Amino acid sequence: MNQTGIPDIIVGRLPKYLRALQNMTSGGIVKTSSQELGNYLGISAAQIRKDLSQFGEFGKQGTGYSVPVLIQELQRILKVDRVWDMALVGAGDLGHAIARYQGFIDCGFVIKLVFDADPQKIGQPLGTFVIQDIADLVTAVQASNIEVAMITVPPQAAQSVADLLVKAGIKAILNYAPVTLNVPGDVHVQHIDPVIHLQHMTYYLE
């Protein structure tokens, strides 16, 4: 799963560095330091330097890092110096919101296919897409060479959708359904569940 030997916990921080640097760019900042970046992210400067040093030497003693250079390097490392096509499965409220979200493209992602099982929805437009029958998922995804998918179906349907996606050759799944997915070892899964985050915080309240 981890071909390069870089700890996954470090890989997981790189997208956060990238986002912070892109936010800095929007603010017109072109130079930064591990100190400044760490301050912004609530992470120690030493950790940022150590993380980056796993991949190369991107800074200069005395002056720090060039923001555009570091952005470029991180995009290359994370393989988002290209655009990844994605399939979206589940055209409910959340699926609609995600299909219309404008924030993917500048980060290396674009939705290409949208599926649902509901006959009422199949054939309907969703933004610039036409909702396709989930029965055609395997064929359509295979034909498009898509490797990344998002699941926004009800929890009971999520595992069977995951099975279809795996069959279609998908290698990365972002799962919005509140269930643990069972997939082969070569398929990556990440999970988004607002309730998990809310319950994490309520522990500390009162």
In the complex, the residues that contact DNA under the rule CB under 7 A are: 7-10, 33-35, 43-47, 49-50, 52-53, 57-65
Span 110-139, contacts to a second copy by CB under 8 A: none
Question: In whole angstroms, what separates CA 175 from the centre of its chain?
Answer: 10
Q: Mask of contacts with a second copy, 14-33, x by CB under 8 A?
A: xxx-xxx--x----------
Q: Which helix (H) or strand (E) holds 65?
A: strand 64-66
Nearer to DNA among residue 67 and residue 111 (C-beta)? 67
Helices (H), the chain: 8-11, 14-26, 34-41, 45-53, 67-77, 93-100, 137-144, 155-167, 194-202
* Piece in contact with a second copy (CB under 8 A), picked from 63-71, 129-137, 161-169, 198-206: 198-206
Q: Which residues pair with 126 in a beta bridge?
A: 129
| 69's tokens | 């250079």
Q: What's the CA gap between 118 and 95, in Å, rounded?
A: 13
187 in Cβ contact with 166 (< 8 Å): yes
Q: How far is the CB of 130 from a second copy (least distance, A)?
A: 18
Q: How far is the CB of 134 from a second copy (least distance, A)?
A: 20
Residue 87 CA: distances (Å) to CA of 106, 127, 138, 175: 17, 14, 11, 12
Told to check if 53 binds a second copy by CB under 8 A, we report no
Q: For binding to a second copy (CB under 8 A), which residues are involved?
A: 1-3, 11-12, 14-16, 18-20, 23, 40-42, 77-80, 84, 86, 92-94, 96-98, 100-101, 103-104, 107-109, 147-148, 150, 155, 171-172, 174, 178-180, 188, 190-206
